[in-house]
Each structure stands twice: as C-alpha cells, then as structure tokens.
Amino acid sequence: MSRDLRPILRDEIYRIAIEALRNAFKHARAPRVDVDIRYGSDQFQLRVRDAGRGIERAVLEAQGASGHYGLAGMRERATVIGGTLTVTSAIGAGTEVQLVIPAAIAYERQPKRSWFSRPPKPQPPEARSTVSGATDRGTAV
C-alpha cells in the first residue's frame, strides 16, 4: 500500500537521516553505510547503520560529546514529531540509528470517499451504448 508521510514529519525525518549519515561519514569514517526505510502498516521506520569506529558509551549516555549537538538534536526532533530514536553502538563495531514513528502519526490520512463520489468504472468498448436521434427538443445528438 502506498503511504504518504505528513509533510512536516517528512522534513524532520530527512534532517534526522542527514545527521545520521553525516555522523557516519565524518566521525565514524565508515567504509560502509546502510540505510533502510520501511513504510509499514503499523509504523514508519528509518534505520541508518554504519560499519565505522563506533561511539564511546560515555558519549552515548551523555547524548553527544561536549560542543556537539547531532545526537541530542536527532533525539529532540524525534520526540517533537512523536517518534522514538534509538542509538546503539560498540567501539569498532559501528553504530545504528533507528527512528520509529507510529503509523497514526507518520502517514497522511486518506480522505474517505462515499460510494456516490467515486468515479464510474470504465466500461469495455463493446458494452458502451451510443445514443443518436432526437432529444426532447427535437435536435439530433
């Protein structure tokens, strides 16, 4: 099923993804980065995983190094949009940043259409009828 993200959330998700990628390339010096985006029926999920240097436990617990606001900023953005951000890392084993947003928050609601507002189903050419002749005013159609 095709699902559209709410525009404001889409922008915040983009910024979180950019920060996670920037960290992977700039700080982790990762030789490989995987990005996984899932539009699930119950949740939206973004996962950025790198095979870089990893983040020290003290830095993770402090939500970032002194003078650096990337991790804290990603967490704040996630909280504001109703999501959950999880950062897991091990020295020498890389880092994974995962953002999860419940579907009820993430996706635009599709307007319900009543049965009479739906366009008619197209008929095959042989099933179409043609009308010719006079109308009630006496002119040809």
Which tens digits make up the pLDDT trace of 39-63? Answer: 999 999 999 999 999 888 877 776 6
Higher pLDDT, 84 or 66: 84
Give the CA distances from residue 45 to residues 67, 106, 134, in Å, rounded to whole numbers and listed in that order: 29, 10, 62
CA 50 – CA 28 distance, rounded (Å):
8
Which tens digits make up the pLDDT trace of 89-104? Answer: 988 899 999 999 999 9
pLDDT at 13 over 60: yes
Query: What is the reported pLDDT for 130?
Result: 52
Higher pLDDT, 68 or 83: 83
pLDDT at 2 over 60: no
Higher pLDDT, 45 or 109: 45
Domains identified in the chain and CATH numbers? 7-106 (3.30.565.10)
